[in-house]
Structure 1
Amino acid sequence: MSQLQRNISSLEVAQMVLREHNEVLKDIRRIISQLGEGILPQSYFIESTYKNSQNKEFPCYLITKNGCELYGTRMTGEKGTQFAVKYIDRFNEMEQQLQQPKVLSEKEQLMAAMKLTIEAAEDVEALKNEVVEVKENVQVLFDTMRIDGRQEFAIKSQGKAKVMEALGGYNSPAYNALSRKVFAKLWGDFKRHFVLPRSTDLPKARFDEAVKYIAIWRPDTSMAMEIDSYNNQTHLKLVQ
């Protein structure tokens, strides 16, 4: 029950006790002034305002059930009894209204259904936006994440195999003379292509591209001629 539903207005009390509203206000203010220290007036009387038929604002009080009981102690005899019956019935009426389920009209039902539909659509849209944002964040993270140890080992192994192929094998004369140079050439070209300070800084998202790059890599013409020269010179010496 809301604060307003737990109270009745001093205007309504004035009607119950057949007195002018100003007189009821005076009574309430007098009671408040007589409350002892440590007692909160708001437990009984809550200052408020109302507007009359000319839309002018005037003071009033919202009176709790305890406030009505306290106000009723100022009246004796038949008047006090009649007031007690009226305010008790009024509060019981409010309690019953709150306990009864509200029956909505067709228009209210339609408006409620539309509101639920709109809220559901807004929730779905918000969820879609969150999913898109998560996907974007995951993609950014994936794009910036460096290759893991397994991928690094695979690239290094592929690079070594490619250098062996270019030199003519592990036992080739060119391997003994040029292996360091060719290795340096391969990884230098690799870092320049992918714009990396170190080959191991390769982003995980470009791993497949790196595998393809190494697969089609070849020494440049000058280096290829140098490799060929070492291997052919040794071959000629063996023939002679």
Structure 2
Amino acid sequence: MNLSIIEQNNQRVLTTAQLAESYGTDNERITKNFNRNKNRYKNGKHFILLEGDELRSFIATSQIDLSPNLNRLYLWTEKGAWLHAKSLNTNEAWNAYEMLVDEYYNVKEQPQSLEIALQAALEHEREIKTIKSDVKYLKGSMRVDSLQQQEIQQAAKYSVVQALGGGDSAAYQEMSKRVFSAFWREFKQYFKVPRYGDIPKAKFEEAIRFVELWRPNTSLQIEIDHCNSQMSLT
């Protein structure tokens, strides 16, 4: 793909004529697609619009032939070229877009200056930190899923039944509701949640550990022991 190189605002761009030629269409089709989907295009992101003194200066220094009577000029960025390929939606346009990305937009004639390279590195680092922060927030705010809820519930049932002396014990028959209520009350107080399904995913392992280590408080344990001992005496 042999295109005259145009750079504006530290990036490579294409005129409407260059874009039309690359996509195997004409200027009119490109312009119509743009006007029909104008709300999707943003100046500075998908195109750079030159007018007035900025346009006159560009024409005076440009290596391509442009009419001095132009009153405005659209220069299309890589993202703008993608939107046009999407509007045309032909194999020729998509193939041309891939070639533009590989052979025009992402090709640098000269190495970037140290200052520009450092700026790019800093911006990249800021983006990574933002992404990590977002991921950390999501992990902290996501709740346990249904399978994890089921695992917590099953572990809680086992722990409470064991504390009562088993499913056949007198304490289980007479006190199971109270002991289960005591367990879930302590569980929700510890994790500061209204229901166990609101536990954050990040605290799932801690929740399981809490369930496994839970024991009735002293007064409740005495009642359980007394209830079970009464059965053994009968």
TM value normalised by structure 1? 0.52
Identity percentage over the alignment?
34
**For residues 136-191 of structure 1, what are the alpha-carbon distances to aligned partners after superposition, in whole Å with 9 as ceiling and x for unaligned?**
11111110111001110111010000011100100011100011111101000000
Relative to structure 1, is the Cα distance of residues 200 and 43 closer, same or farther in structure 2, using a 3 angstrom cutoff?
Answer: closer
2:211 maps to what in 1? 214
Relative to structure 1, is the Cα distance of residues 118 and 167 closer, same or farther in structure 2, using a 3 angstrom cutoff?
Answer: same
The 2-side partners of 1:5 and 1:136 are apart by 45
Does 1:160 pair with 2:181? no
The 1-side partners of 2:61 and 2:173 are apart by 97
Does 1:197 pair with 2:194? yes
The 2-side partners of 1:200 and 1:5 are apart by 66
Measure how far apart 1:3 and its partner are.
2.7
Q: Give the counterpart of 2:173 among 176, 187, 190.
A: 176
Relative to structure 1, is the Cα distance of residues 193 and 234 closer, same or farther in structure 2, using a 3 angstrom cutoff?
Answer: same
**1:63-212 matches, cutoff 5 A:** 116-212=113-209
Relative to structure 1, is the Cα distance of residues 120 and 229 closer, same or farther in structure 2, using a 3 angstrom cutoff?
Answer: same
Q: Give the counterpart of 1:3 among 59, 63, 75.
A: 59
Measure how far apart 1:200 and its partner are.
1.1
Measure how far apart 1:125 and its partner are.
1.5
Q: Max radius of gyration: which structure?
A: 1
SS of the residue 2:113 aligns to: helix
The 2-side partners of 1:43 and 1:199 are apart by 72
SS of the residue 1:4 aligns to: helix
Measure how far apart 1:124 and its partner are.
1.7
SS of the residue 2:193 aligns to: coil
Aligned length: 135
Measure how far apart 1:133 and its partner are.
0.7
**For residues 70-101 of structure 1, what are the alpha-carbon distances to aligned partners after superposition, in whole Å with 9 as ceiling and x for unaligned?**
xxxxxxxxxxxxxxxxxxxxxxxxxxxxxxxx
Which 5+ residue runs of structure 1 have no aligned equivalent?
7-41, 45-111
Relative to structure 1, is the Cα distance of residues 126 and 43 closer, same or farther in structure 2, using a 3 angstrom cutoff?
Answer: closer
The 2-side partners of 1:135 and 1:169 are apart by 47
**For residues 6-52 of structure 1, what are the alpha-carbon distances to aligned partners after superposition, in whole Å with 9 as ceiling and x for unaligned?**
9xxxxxxxxxxxxxxxxxxxxxxxxxxxxxxxxxxx749xxxxxxxx
Relative to structure 1, is the Cα distance of residues 223 and 4 closer, same or farther in structure 2, using a 3 angstrom cutoff?
Answer: same
SS of the residue 1:158 aligns to: helix
Measure how far apart 1:118 and its partner are.
2.0
CA RMSD of aligned residues (A): 2.3
Higher relative contact order (CA 8 A, sep 6+): 2
Relative to structure 1, is the Cα distance of residues 125 and 232 closer, same or farther in structure 2, using a 3 angstrom cutoff?
Answer: same
SS of the residue 1:3 aligns to: helix
Measure how far apart 1:132 and its partner are.
1.1
More helix by share: 1
